[in-house]
Structure 1
């Protein structure tokens, strides 16, 4: 796995409208080598790059994301809310995002953004798109808060680098990571304790922390063994890449 210390969150969410191709390109312009984006399954099998359960915050649409069809999603403006210079930016499909990221030579942390229980219907189409279009498994991480989704990923392809996403580190983190031969635990930086961080590292897993947007916020986390920070503004951390 070719992991680096800095990963752009939703592309680079403070620099361009999140989860758009513009955001991915803005991340690349900072020099960051990895981006995290959200794949969201919608009606009729569509797979889009989007975070929210409703359309209002990041587009000029309205209603539940899950219920929208692909044609309607692709007609929306996903950039004007961020700034006039991004007017007309579209919600990308998973295929479009993959093409953009690979063209830029970046690694991808793809978060499966899904809270439902019918993961056996949701996960296989995502993995099928990745199998067809993503070229380098050492530059691909699949993460999710939805642990059953990760279990399906593991059952379908044991070569995948899986990351269990949590806010607070749960008591059963070790059992969960071991059961899917996870690559990493990806957790919110703020509640993480030194004891938890060192335990994750001692167990042999990578530790990624989200979403710190100032270097001072995770100064101690590096000492605890944190391997990478997921940030809305990669510029705040690129000096670390220069040192490595």
Structure 2
């Protein structure tokens, strides 16, 4: 896969519309992004939704533990009013709804698996089955996670997927971890990336993606170090890169 963009919308475009909603995905497309990053989360009764937090309250008018919510409960929540009245009534999408929306817009997808415990069988097989049945172009899909075990199971199920370990701070054994899933890229916090790490990652043959930068000046040096793409809440702040896509 050739990464044909330098700008990826974070949670859709989280500064332009309520994060991880269909409105946010559309906002990213309208802002000129060709890739979006969203989070998939497993809930009760086998549901898969696009959501980031372990609790419902920050991004919805609901309360409680996300993984314990049923799909029928999630469908009733308002995920837009917290952002602004303009988005009142916006819903939390299912993974299937998001996949259909993204492909209808001609976008590529960085799908982050949100799962911080060891029982990755709860989420990974279901996500991989949904992608198998409903995502049509593997070259327009990257799967990322902070949970290496989740990515290892992704690899075991479908070794042709483009996998991307996520790090806040890059560990000493990053090379071994990436090799264990034949990773496509390393995705990391731009604030903690050093030039030495960047050069080593690129020399090892991996793509390098950095999150979550909303100021072009903050990552000006990172391009020189070899960063391939920036993950941002507002793709318009990197519009000057659009003619380089």
- 1:8 maps to 2:9: yes
Once the two structures are superposed, the pairs formed by residues 166-205 of structure 1 within 5 Å of their partners are: 166-205=167-206
1:230 corresponds in structure 2 to 231
The alignment covers a number of residue pairs equal to: 244
Long gaps (5+) in structure 1: none
Once the two structures are superposed, the pairs formed by residues 76-95 of structure 1 within 5 Å of their partners are: 76-95=77-96
TM-score by length of 2: 0.98
Once the two structures are superposed, the pairs formed by residues 101-116 of structure 1 within 5 Å of their partners are: 101-116=102-117
Measure, in 2, the Cα distance between the counterparts of 1:186 and 1:238: 21
Measure, in 2, the Cα distance between the counterparts of 1:37 and 1:230: 11
8 A Cα contact 1:2 1:139, kept in partner: no
Structure 1 position 120, deviation (Å): 2.1
- 1:17 maps to 2:9: no
Once the two structures are superposed, the pairs formed by residues 1-244 of structure 1 within 5 Å of their partners are: 1-3=1-3, 4-244=5-245
Structure 1 position 2, deviation (Å): 4.2
Structure 1 position 135, deviation (Å): 0.3
Structure 1's consecutive aligned runs of 4 or more residues displaced over 3 angstroms after TM superposition are none
**CA displacement, residues 167-207 of structure 1 (integer Å, 9 cap, x when unaligned):** 01100000000111000000000010000000000000000
Long gaps (5+) in structure 2: none
Structure 1 position 116, deviation (Å): 1.7
SS of 1:230's partner is strand
TM-score by length of 1: 0.99
SS of 1:7's partner is strand
